[in-house]
Structure 1
Amino acid sequence: MTDTADPGDVSVRDGSQRIPVIDGASPNEVRDPATREEIKRAAVWLGMASGLALVVLLIQPLLIILAGLVFAAMLDGGVRLLGRVLPIGRGWRLLIVCLLTVAFLTGTFYLTGVQVAEQVNQLRATLESQAVRVTSWATAHGLMPAADDFTGLAQQAMSSVGRLTSWVGTALGALTTLFMILVIGLFVAMDPRVYERGLQWMIPQAHREEFAVTLRRMGFTLRRLLAGRILGMVAEGILTWLALMMGGVPMALILGILTGLLAFIPNIGAFISGVLMVAVGFSAGFETGIWAIATYFIVQTFDGYVLIPLVAKKTVDMPPALTLGTQILASALFGILGLALADPITAMVKAALERRGERTAEDQDAAESTSNSAR
């Protein structure tokens, strides 16, 4: 019997034999260009979705790395500033910046250690007494459980071994995170060019030049943002300390330090420091509490309407509503670390978008000039 082949089949010769080969597309082969284009688009969307899912799963390590880069930008800013007056190697300048930072912190805590420790204890006792007053008032008006019930619930919660273990684990995790941020920042600040080249190698060669420009813009914007933020923190802390000391508010030094530190997170940090300031002020008397309220509003008004606008002209111009909205979203999505990094993230994204807009305008101008020359 002779095998018959379909009319559309072809054959190839293998020695003296002919082997039939089926012609046409198989069921699992896509020859239609439109279908293949749709498959490519679907693959792109699937890859983006997978990338977003991977980012969500790894968001905490990514935030730690980003925080390390922010710390590296702070060190790099100090190194660049020191390089204007000391023409020595970058490694030596970085060493000087680190030593000056450690010396400043050590000297501050050494000179004011006893006073700060006493004021911290006073602040804790004051806040506890104020909390008891607020709780008693709320209980008297039926807004909270009775004091005995509340104390019993608190003691029961505090006696929980599992919760205590959780708190210890959280504290150790926070210290580990801080150590990793410091180490990453120090290594990046030692030789940032190595990491910049590594990022460029991950980009297609045709886009490396634009990526390098954008990366430099983002680094420059981040350094200016952090410089302005540190200047505002120092000014706000000193003004708060002096004003509270003039009004006789207890614990003026520790309140000034806390206000300066919390100023790193604008708006929300100011609210927290204001609550502490007013609580301590009213613990010393009605007039002292009024002075604390006045100090809070005066310092925050000066900081919001005089200092920040002046610094913003030299650093990064970000609208307050954008900053607050970013902080709310970052805190809800990523916790306290996301809240602290909300401003740097916004500033870097803003710098990248501005560079993108400049590049688009340059391309349009080049296209128009080419069209005009062709005419």
Structure 2
Amino acid sequence: MPFHPLTRRVLRRSALQVLMLCIGVMLLALLWQAASVLLVLFCGVLLALFLSGLAGWLSSRTGLGYGWALTAVLVGLAGSAVAALLALAPSVSEQMGELWSRMPQLLRGLVAQMEHYPWLNGVRQRLDSLTGAAPAASGGTPALPTGQALSTAASMFSVTLGGLVNLVVILALGLYLAVSPTLYLRGLMHLVPPAHRTRTQEVLAALGSTLRQWLAAQLMAMAVIGSLTTLGLWLLDVELALALGLFTGVLTFVPTIGPVISAIPPVLLGLAEGPDKALYVLAMYLGVQAIEEYLVTPMLQKRMVSLAPAVTIAAQFLMGVLAGPMGIVVAAPLAASVLVLVRMLYVEGALGDATGASPPPPAP
């Protein structure tokens, strides 16, 4: 029995909606599976924005063309990296190696200290699982079974190889995007309907400016926190002060969570010398973080992007659940990008609120 024309149209529309829903679900599943790849690409975009920002600044100050300015930036960064490696690499490498080799011993010392506090039994058992079985009578760490050792070595090789591949992709993508950004922007604009191209360019310009400002703020904070931490550890006569200060400075790139993690190794080193030393180290770290929170960050946020701590923590938690450690690293710049998109596309575009200001509270 043939269907009525109206019924056929309804069925076709329903089938089309179901098809679009299935395509959307498949795209979301694909994005979920490719989350780590997308985050690597985002890191490449961040690197390109960093390089192009430096090249643009140098070009505006010196009158050099963009290509020559970018070349000067790359040569300057490479020369600075080589000089830093020649000056600091032997010392830092030796200190990092010593810190890594002493970490199991420090963790076992922490577990031994916790035995005096029964209420820390849960934490102590978890640390026991990290440090492995108790040391042998000779004082050495018991050897792992052959199968477990091979599995651990294979896992470490896989992680290292994956990290190197990601690093190469980030460097290559960042360099190519920085060399000719207008080429890729023009290609992207061809995918946008002509009526929306002007607004799309404004949104992309705002995203680029926000991410550059966030990068500049984080790099300045890394330099300040790393220097203050190195000085503080040196004054407290803590071993491996240079390596620990560099470690803290690098982890400052990850807001909120990074500084907390960076305090663990120096506190463990201080605990090896006694509880008092550990408390001094912890107090120094809290002081440095207070300087960063109440002095460095507010000064940077006056001219650079401001990201509320609650938003940063929520973004890090969400991205950590969705994408693991890589998600935590890029959570803050992603959150800053999302806020720009919400403000320009939803608040200003859909709601028509040109200022983005909050409405006044209702009268009592």
Q: In 1, Cα distance between the equivalents of 2:82 and 2:147?
A: 34
8 Å contact from structure 2 (residues 203, 344) kept in 1: yes
Against the structure 1 CA distance between its residues 159 and 360, is the aligned structure 2 distance closer, same or farther, given a 3 Å change threshold?
closer
Of 161-170 and 262-271, more deviation after overlay is shown by: 161-170
Q: In 2, Cα distance between the equivalents of 1:84 and 1:305?
A: 33
Against the structure 1 CA distance between its residues 285 and 90, is the aligned structure 2 distance closer, same or farther, given a 3 Å change threshold?
same
1:228 is the counterpart of 2:214 = no
The residue number in structure 2 matching 1:81 is 57
Instruction: State the 1:289 CA deviation.
Output: 2.6
2:107 to 128, 131, 137: 131
Q: In 1, Cα distance between the equivalents of 2:188 and 2:249?
A: 35
Against the structure 1 CA distance between its residues 355 and 277, is the aligned structure 2 distance closer, same or farther, given a 3 Å change threshold?
same
The residue number in structure 2 matching 1:328 is 317
What letter corresponds to residue 263 of structure 1 in structure 2? T
Instruction: State the 1:111 CA deviation.
Output: 1.0
Q: Which has the larger radius of gyration?
A: 1
1:301 is the counterpart of 2:301 = no
8 Å contact from structure 1 (residues 116, 253) kept in 2: yes
Against the structure 1 CA distance between its residues 312 and 41, is the aligned structure 2 distance closer, same or farther, given a 3 Å change threshold?
farther
The residue number in structure 2 matching 1:213 is 202
Of 238-247 and 40-49, more deviation after overlay is shown by: 40-49
Structure-2-length-normalised TM-score = 0.84
The residue number in structure 1 matching 2:173 is 184
1:63 is the counterpart of 2:39 = yes
Q: In 2, Cα distance between the equivalents of 1:309 and 1:219?
A: 22
Instruction: State the 1:309 CA deviation.
Output: 2.0
Q: Which runs of 4+ in 1 moved over 6 A?
A: 139-142, 151-154
Q: In 1, Cα distance between the equivalents of 2:50 and 2:291?
A: 25
The residue number in structure 2 matching 1:6 is none
List alignment gaps of at least 5 residues for structure 1: 1-24, 366-375
Instruction: State the 1:121 CA deviation.
Output: 3.2
8 Å contact from structure 1 (residues 225, 316) kept in 2: yes
8 Å contact from structure 1 (residues 126, 280) kept in 2: no
**Pairs within 5 Å for 1:246-261:** 246-261=235-250
Against the structure 1 CA distance between its residues 159 and 362, is the aligned structure 2 distance closer, same or farther, given a 3 Å change threshold?
closer
Against the structure 1 CA distance between its residues 128 and 324, is the aligned structure 2 distance closer, same or farther, given a 3 Å change threshold?
same
Against the structure 1 CA distance between its residues 28 and 297, is the aligned structure 2 distance closer, same or farther, given a 3 Å change threshold?
farther
1:147 is the counterpart of 2:142 = no
Residues 150-209 of structure 1: CA distance to partner in whole angstroms, max 9, x if unpaired?
Answer: x99861277432332232122111101111111000000101111111111112222222
8 Å contact from structure 2 (residues 110, 268) kept in 1: no
Against the structure 1 CA distance between its residues 158 and 118, is the aligned structure 2 distance closer, same or farther, given a 3 Å change threshold?
farther
Q: In 1, Cα distance between the equivalents of 2:77 and 2:214?
A: 19
Residues 42-77 of structure 1: CA distance to partner in whole angstroms, max 9, x if unpaired?
Answer: 444333223212212322222221111111111122
1:105 is the counterpart of 2:81 = yes
1:46 is the counterpart of 2:22 = yes
8 Å contact from structure 1 (residues 243, 295) kept in 2: yes
Q: In 1, Cα distance between the equivalents of 2:212 and 2:99?
A: 34
1:358 to 336, 340, 348: 348
List alignment gaps of at least 5 residues for structure 2: 356-364
1:161 is the counterpart of 2:175 = no
1:117 is the counterpart of 2:93 = yes
Instruction: State the 1:281 CA deviation.
Output: 2.4
Q: In 1, Cα distance between the equivalents of 2:283 and 2:150?
A: 44
8 Å contact from structure 2 (residues 206, 340) kept in 1: yes
Q: In 1, Cα distance between the equivalents of 2:141 and 2:283?
A: 38
State the secondary structure of the residue aligned to 2:315: helix
Instruction: State the 1:301 CA deviation.
Output: 0.7
* Aligned-pair identity (%): 28
What letter corresponds to residue 196 of structure 1 in structure 2? L
1:280 to 269, 274, 284: 269
Q: In 1, Cα distance between the equivalents of 2:284 and 2:180?
A: 44
Against the structure 1 CA distance between its residues 363 and 119, is the aligned structure 2 distance closer, same or farther, given a 3 Å change threshold?
closer
What letter corresponds to residue 98 of structure 1 in structure 2? L
Q: In 2, Cα distance between the equivalents of 1:346 and 1:52?
A: 19
What letter corresponds to residue 26 of structure 2 in structure 1? S
How large is the Cα RMSD of the aligned pairs? Answer: 2.9
Residues 95-149 of structure 1: CA distance to partner in whole angstroms, max 9, x if unpaired?
Answer: 1111221222221121122321332233234423211213445678775476169
Against the structure 1 CA distance between its residues 42 and 231, is the aligned structure 2 distance closer, same or farther, given a 3 Å change threshold?
same
What letter corresponds to residue 359 of structure 1 in structure 2? G
State the secondary structure of the residue aligned to 1:265: coil
Q: In 1, Cα distance between the equivalents of 2:354 and 2:333?
A: 30
Q: Whose relative contact order is higher, 1 or 2, with alpha carbons under 8 Å and at least 6 apart?
A: 2
What letter corresponds to residue 216 of structure 1 in structure 2? A
Instruction: State the 1:229 CA deviation.
Output: 0.7
Residues 343-373 of structure 1: CA distance to partner in whole angstroms, max 9, x if unpaired?
Answer: 11111111111112223465999xxxxxxxx
Of 347-356 and 122-131, more deviation after overlay is shown by: 122-131
The residue number in structure 1 matching 2:69 is 93
Q: In 1, Cα distance between the equivalents of 2:35 and 2:6?
A: 38
Against the structure 1 CA distance between its residues 125 and 47, is the aligned structure 2 distance closer, same or farther, given a 3 Å change threshold?
closer
State the secondary structure of the residue aligned to 1:346: helix
